[in-house]
């Protein structure tokens, strides 16, 4: 339970009554997950290997209908990273305000984790990364173009500790993983799909749509297609043994906690049991995986809002992390909550509401029981037809069903917007409307095509489009049908041309074929890999004609044996940040 950090080591030697101290140098003390007396003790050897020693990770993204993943180079044992991690502690607000007290708490992983969750974002303390969710990343690097934490941490130090531009949630989480693993705290990244950002703490997220079906950017609540945070493993002597184990930390600046942008550690067991009154930030994390969702029709002319429907099972799905020792996805949703729709899950939700004092408080913004119980006359859904690929037309089918025994006339207003992964609308790319008559109990399908030329100019680097149909049923309540679509990038192929051996150069070839019938320009390749390359390779690739194949060759120089990961990121004017990785056995 000693304080971590850099120590001076002196030797005192005494001879014939006089003693002379000799300075032997310095050493750095870390947390030790292999030691049973340590707060971060992790009894499983394979988990120690993965969550402390492994320098490569896989981060999950996309949306709940379509989960994709990409590699990340944590690189916690490379070059200058340990020094940078220690300087993060020394640049924190806590240290600046009271250095002696701050250092005296550095034996406590709860404290260190919370301080670093604030330092990875730059909101209060000139920390490592500046967040940007606008879709416009001028003056910095597009968040989806990073392939590892090393470049970010090195850039922060090189610039004289000015925030690096730009980060989004997985970048904040990946950098925090690097820093905590470097200091000896077992840590992993977690992706939550359909993640609620409950800004007002009422365990409810409100979304607003206008009569045309446009998703309005009003109200502070939002539901992100996915959100990435961290779990770190340590005991909770402040709460008791049943709350020890995995703790949620979140470095993405979403809401203030204790006056600054930091989040956690929130005990994962406390989240599952609805014990939202426990330290730290449990209500916010509980809402991320459990909030109820309300969808409102909003009339900007008079400010009137009408509830269309509410959902209690959409938030917090397919909660994912990388498997131990394998590159597979492991689903940990059941560690965060009881099965959706079970009475146990609803009981925990009620318990959490009660602990937050939401049971007795009149909420003027809440829907009435009558509004919640109203039954629509029809239902609808979007089905995907064919592959969703950047460069191809987007084909969907709108399925509408009349749930009553009377014929219904329906006016359908449809829109499609390009969005960032937080579902923030960026540009309208398509709209249409139609009048439909549905016979009693009839189901009809309507094909919808959005051409590549319509969306190509306005697609964000997240490759995400939100399609909405607002159905006005004559004499009935409005029905909202929506679907978030993630388009896949084309693939790239990595080939190692020869045997990889320590201290021997070996050639690598990266092949990309332009799949669209127009030329792609401004092509660039970025390559990194711990123990394979020093720093990052940036290679310009010539313009490619329609259907043309490019081959780029470069050399790597492995410095250590064992399985190593090479990460590649290819960008051009039509495709942003195509990522791939290859395991190279050195």
Nearest to 80 by CA among 158, 147, 185: 158
- State residue 77's pLDDT score: 96
* Whole-structure pTM value: 0.95
Over residues 409-413, mean pLDDT: 97
292 is in an annotated binding site: yes
Six-digit token string for 226: 């996915």
- State residue 341's pLDDT score: 86
Count of alpha carbons within 13 angstroms of residue 569, beta-carbon side: 20
- Give CA–CA dist 268/271, Å, rounded: 5
- State residue 193's pLDDT score: 98
Decide: helix, strand or coil at residue 351: helix
- Give CA–CA dist 44/539, Å, rounded: 42
DSSP class per residue in 442-475: -EEEEEEEE-HHHHTTT--TT-EEEEEEEEEETT
Contact assessment for residue 113 and residue 180, using Cβ atoms and an 8 Å cutoff: yes
- Give CA–CA dist 175/72, Å, rounded: 10
Quote the radius of gyration of the chain (alpha carbons, Å): 26
Contact assessment for residue 514 and residue 545, using Cβ atoms and an 8 Å cutoff: yes
- State residue 218's pLDDT score: 84
User: Each residue of 207-227: pLDDT tens digit?
Assistant: 999 999 999 988 889 999 999
Q: How confident is the model at residue 152 (pLDDT cuts 50, 70, 90)?
A: very high
- State residue 43's pLDDT score: 97
Over residues 83-101, mean pLDDT: 97
Decide: helix, strand or coil at residue 297: strand
DSSP class per residue in 411-438: EEEEEEEEE-TT--EEEEEEEEEEEEEE
Q: Is residue 250 annotated as part of the catalytic site, yes or no?
A: yes
Mean pLDDT of the chain: 95
Q: Which residue has the higher pLDDT, 487 or 363?
A: 487
Six-digit token string for 459: 């697609």
Q: How confident is the model at residue 375 (pLDDT cuts 50, 70, 90)?
A: confident
| Strand spans (E) along 238-291 | 245-249, 266-267
- State residue 217's pLDDT score: 85
Six-digit token string for 239: 């709460």
Q: How confident is the model at residue 558 (pLDDT cuts 50, 70, 90)?
A: very high
Strands 129-131 and 164-167: parallel
- State residue 63's pLDDT score: 95
The CATH architecture assigned to 45-355 reads Alpha-Beta Complex (3.90)
- State residue 219's pLDDT score: 83
Q: Give CA 168 to chain center in angstroms.
A: 7
Q: Residue 361 pLDDT more than 80?
A: no
Over residues 124-137, mean pLDDT: 94
Catalytic residue chosen out of the listed positions 39, 206, 250, 377: 250
Contact assessment for residue 279 and residue 288, using Cβ atoms and an 8 Å cutoff: no
User: Each residue of 317-336: pLDDT tens digit?
Assistant: 999 999 999 999 999 999 99
DSSP letter (8 states) at residue 389: B
Q: How confident is the model at residue 477 (pLDDT cuts 50, 70, 90)?
A: confident
Over residues 339-350, mean pLDDT: 93
- Give CA–CA dist 506/521, Å, rounded: 29
Angle at the Cα of 574 (from 569 to 575), degrees rounded to 5? 30
- State residue 367's pLDDT score: 81
Classify residue 29 as exposed, middle or buried by CB count within 10 Å of its CB (0-12, 13-18, 19+): middle
Nearest to 312 by CA among 336, 333, 291: 291
- Give CA–CA dist 574/545, Å, rounded: 12
Six-digit token string for 113: 């984790």
Q: Residue 514 pLDDT more than 80?
A: yes
- State residue 410's pLDDT score: 96
Over residues 79-103, mean pLDDT: 97
- Residue ranges of the chain assigned to CATH 2.60.40.10: 373-486, 492-585
Q: Residue 363 pLDDT more than 80?
A: no
Catalytic residue chosen out of the listed positions 169, 263, 471, 523: 169
- State residue 319's pLDDT score: 98
Over residues 545-570, mean pLDDT: 96
Q: How confident is the model at residue 524 (pLDDT cuts 50, 70, 90)?
A: very high
Q: Residue 198 pLDDT more than 80?
A: yes
- State residue 29's pLDDT score: 98
Six-digit token string for 179: 């820093």
Percent of the chain surpassing pLDDT 70: 100
Contact assessment for residue 541 and residue 549, using Cβ atoms and an 8 Å cutoff: no
- Give CA–CA dist 534/161, Å, rounded: 22
Six-digit token string for 564: 């190593």
Residue 557, C-beta contacts closer than 8 angstroms, at least 6 positions apart: 503, 504, 505, 506, 532, 533, 534
- State residue 370's pLDDT score: 78
User: Locate tokens 């590649």: which residue?
Assistant: 568
- Residue ranges of the chain assigned to CATH 3.90.260.10: 45-355
Q: Residue 365 pLDDT more than 80?
A: no
Angle at the Cα of 482 (from 481 to 488), degrees rounded to 5? 150
User: What long-range pairs does 360-365 form, CB within 8 A, spacing at least 24?
Assistant: 363/202, 365/206
Contact assessment for residue 167 and residue 155, using Cβ atoms and an 8 Å cutoff: no
Q: How confident is the model at residue 44 (pLDDT cuts 50, 70, 90)?
A: very high
CATH number of 492-585: 2.60.40.10
Residue 173, H or E segment: helix 169-182
DSSP class per residue in 71-115: EEE--TTSTTHHHHHHHHHHTSHHHHH-HHHHHHTTT-HHHHHHH
- State residue 121's pLDDT score: 97
- Give CA–CA dist 458/461, Å, rounded: 10
Q: How confident is the model at residue 124 (pLDDT cuts 50, 70, 90)?
A: confident
DSSP class per residue in 237-278: TTT-GGG-EEEEE--S-SS-BTTBS----EEHHHHHHT-TTS
- Give CA–CA dist 358/350, Å, rounded: 9
340 is in an annotated binding site: yes
Q: Residue 372 pLDDT more than 80?
A: no
CATH number of 373-486: 2.60.40.10
Q: Residue count of the chain, please give it.
A: 586
Q: How confident is the model at residue 99 (pLDDT cuts 50, 70, 90)?
A: very high
User: Each residue of 239-259: pLDDT tens digit?
Assistant: 999 999 999 999 999 999 999
Q: Is residue 227 annotated as part of the catalytic site, yes or no?
A: yes
Catalytic residue chosen out of the listed positions 197, 215, 227, 565: 227
User: Locate tokens 């365990």: which residue?
Assistant: 203
């Amino acid at each position: 339970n000693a304080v971590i950090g850099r120590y001076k080591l002196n030797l005192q030697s005494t001879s014939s009554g006089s003693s002379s101290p000799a300075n032997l140098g310095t050493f750095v003390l870390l947390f030790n997950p292999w030691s049973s007396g340590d707060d971060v003790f992790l009894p499983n050897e394979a988990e120690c290997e993965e969550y402390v020693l492994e320098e490569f990770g896989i981060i999950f993204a996309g949306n709940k209908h379509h989960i994709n993943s990409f590699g990340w180079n944590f690189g916690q044992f490379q070059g200058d990273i340990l020094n940078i991690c220690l300087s993060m502690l020394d640049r924190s607000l806590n240290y600046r305000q009271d250095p002696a007290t701050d250092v005296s708490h550095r034996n406590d992983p709860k404290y260190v984790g919370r301080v670093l969750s604030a330092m990875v974002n730059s909101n209060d303390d000139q920390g490592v990364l500046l967040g940007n969710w606008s879709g416009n990343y001028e003056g910095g690097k597009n968040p989806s173009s990073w392939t590892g934490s090393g470049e970010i941490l090195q850039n922060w130090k090189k610039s004289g500790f000015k925030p690096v531009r730009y980060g989004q949630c997985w970048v904040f989480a990946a950098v925090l993983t690097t820093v905590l693993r470097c200091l000896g705290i077992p840590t992993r990244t977690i992706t939550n799909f359909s993640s609620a950002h409950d800004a007002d703490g009422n365990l409810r997220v409100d979304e607003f749509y206008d009569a045309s079906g446009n998703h309005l950017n009003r109200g502070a609540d939002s539901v992100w297609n996915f959100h990435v945070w961290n779990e770190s493993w340590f005991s909770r002597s402040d709460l008791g043994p049943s709350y020890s184990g995995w703790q949620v930390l979140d470095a993405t600046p979403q809401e203030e906690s204790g006056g600054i942008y930091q989040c956690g550690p929130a005990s994962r067991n406390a989240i599952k049991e609805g014990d939202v009154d426990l330290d730290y930030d449990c209500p916010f994390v509980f809402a991320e995986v459990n909030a109820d969702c309300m969808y409102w029709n909003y009339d900007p002319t008079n400010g009137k809002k009408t509830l269309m429907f509410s959902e209690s099972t959409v938030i917090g799905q397919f909660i994912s992390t990388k498997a131990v020792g394998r590159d597979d996805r492991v689903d940990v949703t059941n560690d965060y909550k009881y099965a959706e729709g079970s009475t146990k899950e609803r009981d925990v939700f009620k318990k959490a509401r009660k602990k937050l004092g939401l049971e007795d408080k009149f909420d003027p913004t809440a829907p009435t029981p009558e509004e919640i119980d109203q039954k629509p006359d029809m239902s609808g859904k979007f089905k995907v037809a064919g592959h969703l690929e950047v460069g191809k037309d987007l084909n969907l089918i709108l399925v509408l069903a009349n749930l009553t025994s009377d014929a219904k006339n329906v006016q359908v207003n449809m829109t499609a917007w390009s969005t960032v992964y937080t579902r923030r609308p960026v540009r309208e790319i398509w709209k249409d409307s139609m009048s439909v008559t549905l016979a009693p109990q009839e189901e009809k399908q309507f094909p919808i095509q959005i051409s590549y030329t319509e969306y190509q100019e306005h697609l964000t680097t997240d490759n995400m489009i939100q399609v909405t149909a607002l159905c006005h049923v004559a004499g009935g309540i409005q029905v909202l049908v929506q679907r978030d679509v993630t388009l896949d990038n084309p693939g790239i192929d990595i080939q190692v041309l020869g045997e990889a051996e320590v201290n021997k150069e070996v050639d690598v070839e990266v092949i990309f074929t332009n799949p669209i019938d127009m030329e792609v320009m401004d092509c660039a390749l970025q390559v990194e890999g711990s123990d394979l390359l020093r720093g990052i390779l940036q290679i310009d690739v010539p313009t490619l004609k329609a259907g043309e194949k490019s081959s780029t060759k470069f050399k790597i120089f492995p410095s250590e044996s064992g399985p190593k990961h090479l990460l590649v990121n290819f960008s051009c004017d039509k495709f942003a940040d195509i990522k791939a990785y290859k395991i190279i056995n050195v």
